[in-house]
Amino acid sequence: QRTVEQLNERNAMLANELAERTNERDSNALSLQDRDARIAQLEAELYERTAQRDQHQLTIEERDARIVQLEAAVAAANGNAAETRNQLDATSQRLARASSKWSEDRGSLERAKDALAAALAQIEEAEGRALD
């Protein structure tokens, strides 16, 4: 048989243990709430970063497409520049030939003019002589 004192001690010990376990339970409940709040926070952050990543990926894809367009435009411009350069070279060559021909023709004209002047002088001299 237990005495009242022993029962009171046992009762106090059980009350202390119950208080400890209640504190542990409450602490664990708070830890679970903190953990759940942290999980929700991390999920929201993950959603936001995923959206940012997707937006950045879209921006990169748009820029890549623009780069392809610009590279095509540069290639076309380079092709046009090469074609224009070839046309300019051909025109320059024709101009050089025409200039050379013009110089040759001018020289021929000068010689013909000199010959005509000499012939005219001879004609004038012949006309100026008396008929003997």
Q: What angle is formed at CA 92 by the lines to CA 91 and CA 94, rounded to 5 degrees?
A: 65
Distance CA 99, CA 118 (A): 28
Q: Report if pTM > 0.85.
A: no
Distance CA 38, CA 44 (A): 10
pLDDT of residue 12 exceeding 80: yes
Report pLDDT digits (tens) over 106-123.
999 999 999 999 999 999
- What pLDDT is recorded for position 38? 83
Higher pLDDT, 35 or 95: 95
Q: What is the pLDDT of residues 23-72, one digit of tens each?
A: 888 887 777 777 888 889 999 999 999 999 999 999 999 999 999 999 99
